Amino acid sequence: IVPDTLNDYKMVVTWGKPLQPGLTIFNITWKECIEECWMDSNCVLVYDTSPTCQKYSIELIDTVEKLPPNSGNRVAFRVLRRENTCFGPVNDPLLKQGTVYVIHSDVQRDSTIYVINQYIPINITLENSIWTFTQRHQAFACPNLATPIRRGNNIWCMVVMATGNCINRTQADASCVSMYNRSVAGVANKEEYEFLKNAALNYLTNPSDYTAPPGYTRLGFWIDGIRKTECKYPSTIGVSCNGTNEFYYNDSFAQTPALDWNTGQPDGLSKRTNDDCVALLVQTGKSGIEDIGCDVTEMPESKLCMVGYYCGKSIGPDTWNLI
C-alpha cells in the first residue's frame, strides 16, 4: 500500500508445494506467472504446474511444504522487501533452514471484488519445513471510495472525493469533517501525491453526474495549506516568504508536504492576490499544485470547477514491526 510501490515487492522462487489446491489456473509460462503475481496486490503465492500455473490469494492458502530441488516442484512467494537487492538462496530469511523464521508481507484487496478496500498484513512462518500463512492483524477496512494508506506508524483510510458540485475550501473542510472529523489532508510524500493526482485525473477522464458538473475541462481538489498571515499582501517576497514556505500546514503527518507546484506557482504574493489556499488542479496533459482563493468555487473563464478534496482518518496502528 502507499507509500510502498510495486518495486518494494519481490518474488522469492524456491522449491515447494502448496498443501491446498489452487482455484485460479493460468495457461501461461512460469515467468509470466511470476509477473502476474508480482503485479497483483492480492496475490501471495504462485505454483508451477507447467504448462499451467496456479495463483493463490491469502484466503486460498494456509501452508506450503518446503521441498528439495530434485522434487521438481516450484513456488514463488510475493513478499514486501524494501531493500533494493535480493538476499540470494543462502541468506534469504524466507529460505533459511531452522526452527522458526517469520517474514512480513501484506495484501491489498480492491473494492470492486471485495465490496470494501482492505489492507491485510500477513506473516509467512517457516517451521519444520512447512511455511504457514497467518494474518498478523485483522484486516484494515475502508469504505469503497477510500483506500488504505500507511502514514507514519498508522494505517489511514484516505479518499480523493469528487462531489459533483463546485465547492470552496470551507465547504470542502465541512464535508471532510462530516466524514472523518478532520479538515482536508496534506500530501505526506511523493507516493501520496501520485495517488492523489491519479485519482483526480481519473475523475477528469471518466466524469459522471455524481463527480463533476458538465462543461468544465479543469478540475480542482482542495488540500491542506493556508497562507501564513505574515506572507499575505502587503508583505513582500523575502527569506521567510519566498514561495513554498508561505503556507501553514495543519496536517501533522504532512508538515513538509510533497507538492509538485506548477511553473510560477505559488504566485499569490507576487501578484498581490488573496490566493491563500492550496489545491491540485488537473486538466488534459497537465496537472500540478497552485495557490488559489479560499472562497473560489469555479473560474468559468478557464473552465475550472473546484470539485473535490483530499482527506482521511487513522484506523489503527501499523503492524509492520510486529510479529
How would you classify the pairing of strands 304-317 and 218-227? parallel
Q: Is 12 helix (H, G, I), strand (E, B) or coil?
A: strand
Its pTM stands at 0.87
pLDDT of residue 147: 93
Please report whether residue 231 resides in a domain. yes
Q: Report the distance separating Cα 103 and Cα 92, nearest Å.
A: 10
pLDDT of residue 100: 46
Of 85, 114, 141, the one marking the end of a domain is: 141
Sign of the Cα pseudo-torsion (285, 288, 292, 296, in order): positive
pLDDT of residue 308: 98
Please report whether residue 322 resides in a domain. no
From the DSSP assignment, how many helices (H) and strands (E) are in the chain?
4, 18
* Total number of domains in the chain: 2
Of 125, 141, 157, the one marking the end of a domain is: 141
pLDDT of residue 90: 66
Identify the CATH number of the domain in which residue 306 sits: 3.10.100.10
Residue burial 128-148, b: 16+ Cβ < 10 Å; e: rest: eeebbbeebbebbbbeeebbb
Q: Is 184 helix (H, G, I), strand (E, B) or coil?
A: coil
Please report whether residue 24 resides in a domain. yes
Which residues span the domain enclosing 185?
A: 147-317
C-alpha cell at 233: 499582501
Q: Tell me, yes or no, whether 56 and 156 share the same domain.
A: no
Of 141, 167, 183, the one marking the end of a domain is: 141
| Cα angle for residues 285, 184, 153 (degrees, 5° grid) | 100
pLDDT of residue 323: 40
> How does pLDDT run along the chain (323 residues), one tens digit per residue?
898 888 889 999 999 999 998 878 999 999 999 999 999 998 999 999 999 999 999 889 999 999 999 999 999 999 888 777 777 766 677 776 554 445 667 788 775 566 678 898 888 888 889 999 988 888 899 987 899 999 988 999 999 999 999 999 999 999 999 999 999 999 999 999 999 999 999 999 998 888 999 999 999 999 999 999 999 988 888 888 988 899 999 999 999 999 999 999 999 988 888 899 999 999 999 999 999 999 999 999 999 999 999 999 999 998 766 44
